[in-house]
Chain A
Amino acid sequence: MIELTDVHKSFGQNEVLKGISASVQKGEVVCIIGPSGSGKSTILRCINGLESYDRGEISVEGLKVDRDAPSIVNIRTQVSMVFQRFNLFPHRTVLENVVEGPLFVKKEPRAQVLERGRALLAQVGLAEKADAHPPQLSGGQQQRVAIARALAMQPKAILFDEPTSALDPELVGDVLGVMRKLADDGMTMVVVTHEMGFARDVADRVLFIDGGVIVEQGPAKALLNQPQHPRTQDFLRRVLHPL
Chain B
Amino acid sequence: MKGFWHDAVEFFPILMNGVALTIVVTIGSLLLSTVLGLIWAMMRVSGIKALSMLSASLINVIRGIPIIVLLFYLYFVMPDLGVTLSALQAAILGLGIAYSAYQAENFRAGIEAIDKGQIEAAQSIGMGWWLTMRRVVLPQAVRIVLPPYGNVMIMMLKDSSQASTITVAELALQGKLIASSTFKNTSVFTLVALMYLTMSIPLILLVRHFEKRAGKK
Interface residues of A (CB under 8 A from B): 48-50, 73-74, 76-77, 80-81, 83, 85, 87-91, 100-101, 104-106, 149-150, 153
CA distance A163 to B126 in the complex (A): 20
- B120 & A87 in contact (Cβ 8 Å cutoff): yes
- A76 & B120 in contact (Cβ 8 Å cutoff): no
CA distance A125 to B125 in the complex (A): 22
- A83 & B120 in contact (Cβ 8 Å cutoff): yes
> How many whole Å from A45's CB to the nearest CB in chain B?
8
Given A73-B128, A100-B135, decide whether A89 and B123 contact each other with a Cβ distance below 8 A: no
- A73 & B118 in contact (Cβ 8 Å cutoff): no
Interface size of B by CB at 8 A reads 18
> How many whole Å from B116's CB to the nearest CB in chain A?
9
B118-168 contacts to A (CB < 8 Å): 118, 120-128, 131, 135-136, 139-140, 143
Residue of B nearest to A152 (CB): B125
Contacts of B139 in A (CB 8 A): 91
Contacts of A100 in B (CB 8 A): 125, 135
> How many whole Å from B124's CB to the nearest CB in chain A?
4
User: Which one of B123, B125, B128, B135 has the greatest number of beta carbons of chain A within 10 Å?
Assistant: B125
B117 interfacial contact with A, CB 8 Å = yes
Interface residues of B (CB under 8 A from A): 115, 117-118, 120-128, 131, 135-136, 139-140, 143
User: What are some 27 contacts across the A-B interface (CB < 8 A)?
Assistant: A48-B124, A50-B120, A50-B124, A73-B128, A76-B123, A76-B124, A77-B125, A80-B125, A83-B117, A83-B121, A85-B117, A87-B118, A87-B120, A87-B121, A88-B121, A89-B122, A89-B135, A90-B140, A91-B139, A91-B143, A100-B125, A104-B127, A105-B131, A106-B126, A149-B125, A150-B125, A153-B126
Given A48-B124, A106-B126, decide whether A89 and B136 contact each other with a Cβ distance below 8 A: yes
Contacts of A91 in B (CB 8 A): 139-140, 143
Contacts of B140 in A (CB 8 A): 89-91
CA distance A101 to B132 in the complex (A): 11
> How many whole Å from B127's CB to the nearest CB in chain A?
6
Contacts of B121 in A (CB 8 A): 83, 87-89
> How many whole Å from B123's CB to the nearest CB in chain A?
6
3 smallest beta-carbon distances between A and B, as pairs: A101-B125, A87-B121, A87-B117
Q: Which of B115, B118, B135 contacts A104 (CB 8 A)?
A: B135
CA distance A100 to B124 in the complex (A): 12
Residue of B nearest to A70 (CB): B128
CA distance A150 to B117 in the complex (A): 15
Residue of A nearest to B143 (CB): A91
Contacts of A83 in B (CB 8 A): 117, 120-121, 124
